[in-house]
Structure 1
Amino acid sequence: MENEKFKRSFRTPFQNSLGLAVYRSGLQRCAPDHSWGPGVRDHYLIHYILSGKGTFDSGKRKYALTAGDGFLVVPGVVSSYQADHDEPWEYCWVGFNGADAGRLVKETGLSEESPLFHYDKDGAIENMLNDIYTATGPNPSNEAQMTAALLRFLAALMVLHGDRNCRKDTGYAYVQRSIQFIDFNYSREDLDITQIAANAGISRSHLYRLFLQHTDMTPNEYLTKYRINKAADLLKDENLSVGEAAYSSGFSDQLYFSRVFRKLKGVPPSKFAESARKAEKE
């Protein structure tokens, strides 16, 4: 194309059922005044400027950008960007979507209202975006490698931008992170509040206060209730014994499990399972 001095890109079919999938990636050295838009994208798109200058119009504000700057294009939002006439920019980019894309972007601290980031310490951002592109290919292994490289890139943005921001809020970000950690680790019988607090990066006492503030429960109460609910689901949906459901939910002591289950559910686990399975047959 005449308005593209150099462009290297790859586009892969997007599968909406995936939690996260690379839609497109590439590198472009733009011609003077080369532009895109105004228009809308159907996926998230992040550009990182390697050299030169240009402007980005987010639909809310127009930004003058240069090397080391990056910007987010949000799906469904009218935006545009244009290379400078005298010093046109060169940038690399990645476009992505999926059921988890919005949540992950939010964790980076980038948004429609705050679409910019800056990094000029070394070539780490460029290298991570290049890793996404070089993993491209038609095979399932390529797709997995691209997604892994995209996650590394988003994690770097979270460290650069998002982790700073989460410390400015009311502390709910710590609770969210702890709840996710519980979701991934509740079946471990050795899981305790010290580990949960360490994963969130705060003290046990701070985590205790935040859980009471945002969930009206202590971390231990939340963990116990979470495990019991998981056990109840297993007893309803799986052909498991009470002992198997207990062990699968992080309880090594079946008697203790039965006592806690009855306290929270009002009936012993054996009776709960019997009633649930009987109801399914009716």
Structure 2
Amino acid sequence: MDISNTVRRGSTLTKQDLLHGKVPGDFFFRELAERHHGPMAVALGGREYCKGEYSVQRRTYPFTTLEFVAEGAGELRLGDGPVQSLRAGCVFAYGPGMPVSMSTAGKAMTKYFLCLVGNKARRVLEEPVALMGRMQHFGGHAELREIFDLILQEGKEHGPRTEALCWNSFCRLLLKLEQAQLRGEQTRDPQLETFTRCKRLIDAGPERFGSLGELAAVAHVSLPTLHRLFRRYQGVTPYQYLTRRKMNEAAHALIDTDLMVKEVAARVGFDDPLHFSRVFRHVHGVSPQRLRESLRAPGGG
């Protein structure tokens, strides 16, 4: 893969890192050789934290690439087009033969990228989403970030279905982008934005909230509004969503650490280990102790 015509400063990802795999855990590499034939696939991707002095200029890039700005701001120029302002929610695509200039203009920025291979890689970003060589801003972009995070998580797995899972998630991402374009999301939906803000607060740390009242206070919404938003946009109550996120965090802790069950309970905000165990069993169908035993049993991993 030839990226010798790339100039990059201020990023956590360097040319040497990319070529030799010496990168943080925010990147995955399925194929490092560009491929313009055969079936389509997500070759590599990641989440990149760009510092205030970040700057990249490329005369070309071997992969068809989709990028998404999750946080921060910057500037972008695709091909011979005008310089455009980047902000959270901006999505753009480029490919071989297209010059790209990007900088953070003195401000930090978090962005995701996905590189595609295959004989129709460029076409899937030309129609129907029409993002090749252009940038578009999407409102309610927390959903997009969730899918990018999912692809990033799947891409780092090593299994017989990893490639298919990544591609299926990417197709879902394309459908979300197409749906947003059809809805004309340039017109803001304040209620959706409020919901995504509340949902992101939970996702960032469900253990911080001992009650829905605490969440509502931090989000600056009323409890009835919180219930209405989650029912409308998530299809569950905010309590159900918060509890599920807490139990997911608890399951990870039980699998990845040697903490006692009561310590895991306290970590996710439960003072009573028995109540925690009942809720855990209700959500996952198995008790915390049984989960631990199954993992330690022969053949349980």
Instruction: Give the structure-2-normalised TM-score.
Output: 0.49
- 1:1-282 alignment, distance < 5 Å: 3-5=10-12, 8-13=26-31, 16-60=36-80, 61-85=82-106, 87-107=107-127, 108-112=129-133, 115-136=134-155, 137-161=157-181
* Percent identity for Structure 1 against Structure 2: 18
What residue identity is the alignment partner of 1:144?
Answer: A
How far did residue 75 of structure 1 move?
2.2
Give me the whole-angstrom Cα distance separating, in 2, the residues matched to 1:89 and 1:156.
Answer: 23
5+ residue gaps, structure 1: 165-282
Q: Deviations over 1:119-151 (max 9, x none)?
A: 231511101111111111343311111111111
How far did residue 111 of structure 1 move?
2.7
Instruction: Give the structure-1-normalised TM-score.
Output: 0.52
Conserved in 1, the CA contact under 8 Å of 2:55 and 2:103?
A: yes
RMSD: 2.4
Give me the whole-angstrom Cα distance separating, in 2, the residues matched to 1:5 and 1:42.
Answer: 21
Relative distance call for 1:3 and 1:122 in structure 2 (3 A) is closer
5+ residue gaps, structure 2: 1-7, 14-23, 185-301
Conserved in 2, the CA contact under 8 Å of 1:40 and 1:76?
A: yes
SS at match of 2:119: coil
Relative distance call for 1:27 and 1:99 in structure 2 (3 A) is same
Q: Aligned pairs, how many?
A: 161
Greater Rg by CA: 1
SS at match of 2:114: strand
Conserved in 2, the CA contact under 8 Å of 1:58 and 1:80?
A: yes
Relative distance call for 1:122 and 1:41 in structure 2 (3 A) is closer
Give me the whole-angstrom Cα distance separating, in 1, the residues matched to 2:118 and 2:182.
Answer: 20
Relative distance call for 1:37 and 1:121 in structure 2 (3 A) is same
What residue identity is the alignment partner of 1:9?
Answer: F
Give me the whole-angstrom Cα distance separating, in 1, the residues matched to 2:151 and 2:163.
Answer: 10
Give me the whole-angstrom Cα distance separating, in 2, the residues matched to 1:139 and 1:101.
Answer: 23
Give me the whole-angstrom Cα distance separating, in 2, the residues matched to 1:48 and 1:18.
Answer: 26
Conserved in 2, the CA contact under 8 Å of 1:47 and 1:94?
A: yes
Conserved in 2, the CA contact under 8 Å of 1:48 and 1:70?
A: yes
Relative distance call for 1:73 and 1:99 in structure 2 (3 A) is same
SS at match of 2:97: coil
